[in-house]
């Protein structure tokens, strides 16, 4: 199924999967490779994402890793203001996603910096749904449910609520690493094509997560190979967006999988 997103009046084509590069404006994200603390580090990371083929920049300033304590809202806003200003100066035409579960932070990001997408890992709230619908920005709806049946039920209810508020563009994120055991993460990944029944694009974010490094008994820093394998599987199962730390490798996955699909079609 082919999808598009309305980004400030222009359609972003998802018929070829897009790669979203992560920028963590926080000192405690689980993977140090994408943490940025200064304007110089932020600009360097943004240029790296663009040069390696990423088309969406996803900026977060409040760690959501398991066991972490959310930073105060004022601190999240302060970190984001620094990072988002740098992103806009460095990549003025980039599609900018902001990773936050707080409506006031989302409002600030859109009103002050023209954020294009709100990426909410919390599963959403009526206040957030109402806000994104009013602002007219695409919204990533993340599931923290442990299995596909529960996920489908909660997604369907949340999507209906978003539609009732007038939200147009919705992206579904199965929430790998959120509310799931290691085995349940793989069960959901295997069943990913069944989410297509909701008729919405799917974002997959497995990059260097514990479902990889715990299974392989390695560290997040040693999880690139496992990440590439799972990104390839996710693309084959219908993912429209890959959210990643390692942009070049993900872009290569997209190119290879798309070539395979093209040859399969031509040779029928």
The full DSSP string for 39-105 is: HHHHHHHHHHHHHTT--EEEEE-S--STTPPPPPHHHHHHHHHHHHHHHHHH-TTSEEEEE-S-HHH
Model pLDDT, residue 259? 95
Question: Residue 243 catalytic?
Answer: yes
pLDDT tens for residues 1-12? 789 999 999 999
pLDDT at 28 over 60: no
Question: Residue 134 catalytic?
Answer: no
State the pLDDT confidence band at 62, using cuts at 50, 70 and 90. Answer: confident
pLDDT at 262 over 90: no
Rounded mean pLDDT, 25-31: 63
Model pLDDT, residue 48? 95
Separation CA 29–CA 212 (nearest Å): 16
Model pLDDT, residue 69? 76
pLDDT tens for residues 137-188? 999 999 999 999 999 999 999 999 999 999 999 999 999 999 999 999 999 9
Beta carbons within 8 Å of 52's beta carbon, 6+ residues apart: 21, 247, 248, 251
Q: What tokens appear for 45 in the block? A: 């990371």
pLDDT tens for residues 63-96? 776 666 788 999 999 999 999 999 999 999 999 9
Per the listing, tokens 């209810």 go with 157
The two most distant CA atoms of the chain are separated, in Å, by 57
Q: Model-level pTM greater than 0.85? A: yes
Residue 222 contacts residue 213 (beta carbons within 8 Å) = yes
Per the listing, tokens 């959310």 go with 70
Out of 45, 180, 208, 209, pick the active-site residue: 209
Out of 45, 88, 180, 243, pick the active-site residue: 243
State the pLDDT confidence band at 205, using cuts at 50, 70 and 90. Answer: very high
């Amino acid at each position: 199924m082919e999808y598009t997103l309305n980004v400030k009046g222009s359609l972003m084509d998802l018929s070829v999967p897009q790669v979203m590069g992560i920028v963590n404006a926080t000192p405690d994200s689980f993977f140090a490779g994408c943490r940025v603390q200064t304007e110089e580090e932020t600009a360097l990371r943004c240029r790296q994402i663009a040069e390696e083929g990423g088309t969406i920049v996803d900026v977060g300033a409040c760690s959501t890793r398991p066991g972490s304590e959310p930073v105060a809202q004022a601190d999240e806003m302060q970190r984001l203001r620094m990072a988002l200003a740098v992103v806009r100066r460095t990549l003025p035409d980039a599609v900018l996603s902001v990773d936050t579960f707080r409506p006031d932070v989302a409002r600030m990001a859109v009103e002050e910096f023209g954020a294009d997408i709100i990426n909410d890992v919390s599963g959403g709230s009526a206040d957030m749904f109402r806000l994104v619908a009013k602002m007219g920005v695409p919204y990533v709806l993340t599931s923290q449910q442990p299995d596909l049946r529960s996920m489908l039920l909660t997604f369907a209810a949340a999507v209906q609520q978003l539609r009732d508020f007038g939200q147009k563009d919705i992206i579904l994120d199965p929430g790998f690493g959120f509310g799931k055991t290691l085995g349940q993460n793989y069960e959901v990944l295997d069943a990913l094509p069944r989410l297509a029944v909701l008729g919405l694009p799917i974002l997959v974010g497995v990059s260097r997560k514990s479902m990889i490094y715990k299974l392989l008994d390695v560290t997040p820093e040693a999880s690139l190979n496992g990440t590439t394998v799972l990104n390839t599987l996710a693309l084959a199962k219908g993912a429209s967006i890959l959210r990643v730390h390692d942009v070049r490798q993900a872009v290569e996955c997209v190119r290879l999988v798309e070539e395979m699909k093209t040859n399969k079609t031509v040779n029928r």
